[in-house]
Amino acid sequence: MAGKFFEVLKKDHDEQRELTKKFKKEKSSSEWKNLFQEIKKELQPHVKGEEASFFHRLKDSEDREIRLETLEKLQEHDVMEHLLEEAHNMDQTSEEFWAKVKVLLEINEHHIDEEEQETFIVMKKQFSDDELDSLLDKFNQEKEKVKKEIG
Ligand SMILES: [Fe+2]
Ligand SMILES: [Fe+2]
C-alpha cells in the first residue's frame, strides 16, 4: 500500500519524540538509565533499518544533491551511534551522562524532522509504490534482526 512506509517511519519518530520529552523532563538520576535503555532499543534498530533500505539506495543516486543529503543523514547516524556507545559505557547516574544523552536526543530531533521534511519527499520522487513496499520489507527485516542482536 502506497504511503505505508512513511506511516511506519513517522510512528517510530513519534515514539522517539515521546521518549525524548520524557528524558528531558526526568529529574531523578536513577530513572535516566531505564529511559536510556528504551531510547537505545528504539533508536538502533530504526537507524539500521533505514540504512539497509532507502539510504542504501539513495547514497548511490546519480543526483549529487541527493547523494550529499544522504551522506549528511548517514553522518548523523554515525554521530548518534557513537554517542549511544559512549553513553552506554558511562556512569549512567552522572550529570555528564545526562548531558551526553541530551545532546544525542537533540541531534536526533533535528535529524528526524529533516527526514520527514526532506528525505520523505526524495523517496516519493525516487521510488515507485512497489519499490517503497519492498524497501519497507527490507526495513522491517533489518529492524527485527538488530532487535534480536541487541536483545
Ligand atoms: Fe535516520
Ligand atoms: Fe528516521
* Residue-range domain boundaries for the chain: 4-22+30-150
- Cβ-Cβ contacts under 8 Å for 79 (sequence gap 6 or more): 107
**DSSP label at residue 127:** S
**Burial code of 51-83, b = ≥16 C-beta within 10 A, e = fewer?**
bbbbbebbeeeeeeebeebbeebbebbeebeeb
Stretch 23-30: mean pLDDT, rounded?
92
Q: Go through the chain and tell me how many residues it has.
A: 151
Phi, psi dihedrals of residue 79, rounded to the nearest 5°: -60, -40
Distance 128 CA to ligand 2 centre (A): 20
Residue 2 has pLDDT above 80, yes or no: no
Three cell numbers written together for 116 = 520527514
Q: Which residue has the higher pLDDT, 144 or 1?
A: 144
Distance 115 CA to ligand 1 centre (A): 7
Distance 107 CA to ligand 1 centre (A): 11
Distance 51 CA to ligand 2 centre (A): 10
Phi, psi dihedrals of residue 122, rounded to the nearest 5°: -60, -45
Confidence (pLDDT) at 151: 77
Stretch 80-93: mean pLDDT, rounded?
97
With cut-offs at 50, 70 and 90, classify the pLDDT of residue 1: low
Residue 15 has pLDDT above 70, yes or no: yes
